[in-house]
Amino acid sequence: MPEQLPDKRLIADSFSRAAATYDQAAALQRTVGSNLLARLPVDFAPTELIDLGCGTGYFSRALHERFGQRVMGLDLAEGMLRHARQISPEVTQWVAADAEALPLRSNSQDLIFSSLALQWCPDLLLVLREAYRVLRPGGCLAFNTLLEGSLHELRTAWRAVDDFVHVNRFMVPAELESILAAAGFADWRCEVEEHTLHYQRLGELTHELKALGAHNINPGRPGGLTGRARLRLLTEAYERFRTTRGLPASWQVAQILMFKPI
Ligand SMILES: C[S@@+](CC[C@H](N)C(=O)[O-])C[C@H]1O[C@@H](n2cnc3c(N)ncnc32)[C@H](O)[C@@H]1O
């Protein structure tokens, strides 16, 4: 089965549909984005900043609070931007944009912040080169992304059912590091955080992924609904991972800071 990323139009539609449910389901997203924000140097004082793949704008507002500056939120999904605009009209400017082709002038930004968005981009090196172009000398790209091992329980459980693609493919650390090294930044660091969430029932995890807009839209996904028999097989396979805390869902998150040379 091919394991390339889904079509960008499908990604945008899926996240747009999830705009109203995203915030209630986004506990992990809040934790890892807050951890990324906390990694920024304490004396860093950007005046021009963007939140790339801003979704509902939670971190656009957090960036505004931390730095006291106007923040621009950019996202591929118009539905996310509409929602963000409604819940915080005063804080930011919301722009429909693709991280691989930013509608911004070169050398115009001090900080590009991006939490759990860039794993949706087919060409991460292209995104990093765009970020480099848009940043001013000394500017920072702070982003996080998912690595292999994320949702490995769900991927393994599906393998007991069929050979279709049900879970996105995530990079291995060596692949990510070689892309980071090729992007031209002077100084960069990457640290990996592991998070495990627990659920009492498999349906809680799959509903949460759907509410986040992160459910299965992969090329190679099966057509039609998941029948009862296949769902039972999936549930049985996932049950093998159960611990005293419930059904685990693992996430491997790379937290990255990159600085453009002065
Ligand atoms: C998991 S959400 C994260 C939202 C927000 N950063 C947060 O942490 O709550 C991922 C977001 O990335 C956006 N996205 C995906 N691909 C993108 C691209 N190529 N350019 C810009 N945004 C993109 C999606 O539309 C979605 O809103």
In a domain, 99, yes or no: yes
C-alpha 151/C-alpha 134 separation (Å) is 33
> Would you say the CB of residue 121 lies under 6 angstroms from ligand 1?
yes
In a domain, 160, yes or no: no
C-alpha 259/C-alpha 74 separation (Å) is 20
What residue's CA is closest to ligand 1, atom 1?
116
> Would you say the CB of residue 80 lies under 6 angstroms from ligand 1?
yes
Q: Which pair of structure tokens corresponds to residue 196? A: 């495990």
> Would you say the CB of residue 120 lies under 6 angstroms from ligand 1?
yes
What pLDDT score does 229 carry?
Answer: 87
In a domain, 185, yes or no: yes
Q: 240 C-alpha to center of ligand 1: Å?
A: 32
Q: 2 C-alpha to center of ligand 1: Å?
A: 23
What pLDDT score does 223 carry?
Answer: 58
DSSP 118: G
> Would you say the CB of residue 118 lies under 6 angstroms from ligand 1?
no
In a domain, 204, yes or no: no
Burial of 1-19, coded b for 16+ CB within 10 Å and e otherwise, reads eeeebbeeeebbbbbbbbb
What residue's CA is closest to ligand 1, atom 27?
55
Q: Are 57 and 72 in contact (CB under 8 A)?
A: no
What pLDDT score does 213 carry?
Answer: 84
In a domain, 211, yes or no: no
Burial of 143-167, coded b for 16+ CB within 10 Å and e otherwise, reads bbbbbeebbbbbbebbeebeeebbb
- Ligand 1 atom with the smallest distance to the CA of 212 is 1
Q: Which pair of structure tokens corresponds to residue 25? A: 């389901």
> Would you say the CB of residue 153 lies under 6 angstroms from ligand 1?
no
Q: Which pair of structure tokens corresponds to residue 38? A: 């906390």
- Ligand 1 atom with the smallest distance to the CA of 114 is 6
* 121: containing domain: 8-150+168-196+252-259
- Among the listed residues 81, 87, 26, the one whose alpha carbon sits nearest the alpha carbon of residue 55: 81
Q: Which pair of structure tokens corresponds to residue 24? A: 């209630």
In a domain, 125, yes or no: yes
Question: Reduced to 3 states, what is the DSSP secondary structure of residue 163?
Answer: coil
In a domain, 233, yes or no: no
Spans of the chain below 50 pLDDT? 1-2
Q: 224 C-alpha to center of ligand 1: Å?
A: 26
What pLDDT score does 2 carry?
Answer: 39
The total domain count for the chain is: 1
Task: Say how far residue 142 (Cα) sits from the centre of its chain.
Answer: 13
> Would you say the CB of residue 59 lies under 6 angstroms from ligand 1?
yes
Q: Which pair of structure tokens corresponds to residue 114? A: 């991006």
In a domain, 205, yes or no: no
> Would you say the CB of residue 36 lies under 6 angstroms from ligand 1?
no
> Would you say the CB of residue 255 lies under 6 angstroms from ligand 1?
no
> Would you say the CB of residue 77 lies under 6 angstroms from ligand 1?
yes
Q: 55 C-alpha to center of ligand 1: Å?
A: 5
CATH number at residue 113: 3.40.50.150
Secondary element (H or E) of residue 189: strand 187-199
> Would you say the CB of residue 84 lies under 6 angstroms from ligand 1?
no
Beta-carbon contacts of residue 215 (< 8 Å; ≥ 6 apart) = 14, 206, 209
What is the number of other CB atoms lying within 10 angstroms of the CB of residue 42?
A: 6
